[in-house]
Amino acid sequence: MGRKVAFIAALFGALALVGPAQARVEVQWWHAMSGVLGDRLNELVEKFNKSQEKYTVVAVAKGNYDEVTNGVIAAYRAKRPPEMVQIAERGYMTMLLSGAIVPVQDLVEQKGYKIDFSDFIKPVASFWSYKGRMSAMPFNSSTPIFWYNKDHFQKAGFDKPADTWQELEKQLYTIKSKGISECGTVLPGDFYWSLLENYSAINNQPYGTLANGFDGLGSEFVYNKTKVVSQVARLKKWLDDGVMQIAGQGFSPEQLFTSGRCSTFVNSTASHGNIERNATINWSATFLPHESDINPPLNSTIGGGAIWVMKGHTSERYEAVAAFLDFVAQPETQVWWHGATGYVPATNRAYAVARERGYYKDHPTREIAVLQLSRGTPNENSRGFRFGNFVQTMLAQRQEVEAVFAGQKQPQQAMDDAVKRGNEILRQFEKLNAGKTPETERP
- Block means of pLDDT (10 residues each) for the chain, 443 residues, are 49 49 91 92 98 97 94 93 96 93 96 95 90 94 97 98 98 97 96 97 98 94 98 98 91 93 95 88 98 96 95 97 98 95 93 95 94 92 94 97 98 98 97 79 49
- End-to-end, the C-alpha distance of the chain in Å comes to 67
Say what the pLDDT of residue 22 is.
73
How many C-beta atoms surround the C-beta of residue 233 within 10 A?
A: 16
Decide: 72 and 30 in contact? Cβ < 8 Å. Answer: yes
Residue of 404, 215, 430, 214 whose CA lies nearest to 301: 214
Say what the pLDDT of residue 319 is.
98
Say what the pLDDT of residue 439 is.
61
Say what the pLDDT of residue 1 is.
44
From residue 233, how far is each of 201, 397, 409 by CA, in Å? 18, 14, 11
Enter the pTM of the model. Answer: 0.89
Q: How far apart, in whole angstroms, are the C-alpha atoms of residue 364 and residue 23?
A: 45
Q: How far apart, in whole angstroms, are the C-alpha atoms of residue 14 and residue 4?
A: 15
